[in-house]
Amino acid sequence: MHCEGREGMKELQYDVLVIGAGAAGLAAALEVSRNNASCALVERESHLGGILIQCIHNGFGLEEYKEELTGPEFAERQVQAVRAADVDIFTDTTVTQLNAENDRKEAYCYSAVYGVLRISVRAVILAMGCRERNRGNIRTPGTRPAGVYTAGLAQRLVNIEGYIPGQDVVIVGSGDIGLIMARRMTWVGAKVHAVIEIQPYPSGLTRNIVQCLNDFDIPLYLSHVVSRIEGKQRVEKVQVSPLTNGIPDEENSFEIPCDTLLLSVGLIPENELSKEAGMEINPQTNGALVDATMMTSIDGVFSCGNVLHVHDLADWVAEEARRAGAYAVRYLRNERPKRQIRIKAGANVRYINPAMFDPDNPDKLYFRSLIVKNQAKLQIKLDHKPVKEVRLSHVQPSEMLHVKLKPKDVAGWNIMKDSVLEVSIE
């Protein structure tokens, strides 16, 4: 590491820069360091662990650590491992610009602790996570009173800051954060009156429906929307409408008095930095379009975790990030795939990640279903010819799926330069 001052700017050099120190960044940085490359880990918050710190509920770690942990416990294990490794950690530091087109990439960082930094590296791993969709994204009509929060913000207020955002709560969207917050708000003494879901099926995990709603007799209205928010200073009530052919049915609408509305209506990968750097985005995921080595359209820039595509499980984020870390180190050693073919999302598949496949090094593919079905079938075709079938006991859009092809699966394939692998669900 070199450090030379120039106009008050500290200049640092590493092999790899990891941006973001949540579940993804921590796992990626650890893997880079284990492969003997020098690594800087930059985090804008003052603590490591990202969103895990406010996810105080259990259900983490079953795959990574083979035991059930809470978010802070999961983070603490990752942080201990990273602190014990040879990783330089910069907290309270925000990357504001990434110049990545050249062989040496430069990140400009601002920090209350370190001042202005220019970190120069050969590879970058993006692990910035995602942010919540809010009222503007779902365009709910009505007044603009206080008391409308995203579910994750409310989670932060309750679990970290120690404030209770309201007493009579309605939750929009049945995503996992909304469901978890229904239980959390009940356990801090608030009354959760209803969860309103626009889709005909819940968008969170079944166990969260059971443990967070059914346990407290909280009604879940499927195929319903909050069609109006009312209140002068503070939310006073919301109007809820059933959907008929996708249109709110005014006649059968009803009102729920409440002082707080929590929105759990989806997450968006936080890719502003990457877009400015010129990275190609997959419109299906709002994350980077990555090749078989999780490298983005910019040479030497890798992406993993929720900034690549929104995951359900932190365990899978860590697993994916570890592979991104390993691929970044292979890139440093100029070990690149000899050939790659395109992967296409076929029937009933919303997206598949990564977008390319390396036949000489088949790796894990993550994908999401567009349909709800028991006893479904995953069908993989090479140039329209079926090459593999996998039985899936249950599929639904809210539960991410994965498949790993083995070298013996690929052995007999007739791969051309412009071959396409198509993944579909039947």
CA distance 316 to 284: 19
Of 53 and 256, nearer to another protein (C-beta) is: 53
For another protein, which is the closer residue by CB, 199 or 297? Answer: 199
Q: Which lies closer to another protein via its Cβ, residue 184 or residue 368?
A: 184
Strand (E) positions, 49-111?
58-60, 69-70, 87-90, 93-99, 105-111
Sorted by sequence, the CB contacts under 8 Å of residue 260 that are 6+ apart come out as: 147, 148, 149, 154, 165, 166, 167, 168, 169, 170, 190, 235
Q: At its nearest, how many Å lie between another protein and the CB of residue 73?
A: 5
Rounded least distance, CB 210 to another protein, Å: 5
CB of 169 to another protein, least distance (A): 17
Nearest approach, Cβ of residue 216 and another protein (Å): 11
Distance separating alpha carbons of residues 33 and 325, to the nearest angstrom: 9
Which is nearer to another protein, 56 or 281 (by Cβ)? 56
- Least distance from another protein to the Cβ atom of residue 61, Å: 11
- The answer to whether 410 and 341 are in contact (CB under 8 A) is no
Q: What is the DSSP-derived secondary structure letter of residue 234?
A: B
For residues 203 and 196, give the distance between their C-alpha atoms in angstroms, rounded to a whole number: 11
Residue 295 DSSP label: B
What's the closest the beta carbon of residue 25 comes to another protein, in angstroms? 19
Could you give the CA distance from residue 220 to residue 223 in angstroms, rounded to a whole number?
Answer: 10
CA neighbor of 290 nearest in space, from 373, 300, 421, 258? 300
Smallest gap from residue 222 Cβ to another protein (A): 15
108: tokens are 């400009």
90 versus 331: smaller Cβ distance to another protein: 90
Residues forming the site for another protein (CB under 8 A): 46-47, 53, 56-58, 68-73, 76, 158-162, 184, 187-188, 205-207, 209-211, 214-215, 374, 393-394, 396, 399
**Tokens found for residue 146:** 């206080």
Rounded CA-CA distance 204/348 in Å is 19
In the complex with another protein, which residue's Cβ is closer, 306 or 398?
Answer: 398
In 167-271, which residue ranges form alpha helices assigned H by DSSP?
176-187, 206-208
Nearer to another protein, 76 or 88 (CB): 76
Indicate the residue among 107 and 205 with the shorter CB distance to another protein. Answer: 205
Query: Of 143 and 206, which has the nearer Cβ to another protein?
Result: 206
Q: Find out whether 302 and 126 touch, Cβ atoms under 8 Å.
A: yes
- Smallest gap, in angstroms, from Cβ of residue 70 to another protein? 4
Select 17 or 48, whichever has its Cβ closest to another protein.
48
Smallest separation (angstroms) from another protein to the CB of 75: 8
The first and second tokens of residue 187, run together, are 């356990």
In 10 A of CB 106, how many CB atoms?
Answer: 16
| CA separation, residue 346 to residues 311, 351, 381, 405 (Å) | 20, 9, 9, 17
Q: What is the residue whose two structure tokens read 């941006």? A: 19
Are the CB atoms for 17 and 118 separated by under 8 Å?
A: no
What tokens were used for 64? 């990574």
Q: How far is the CB of 189 from another protein (least distance, A)?
A: 9
**Residue 395 CA, distance from chain mean position:** 19
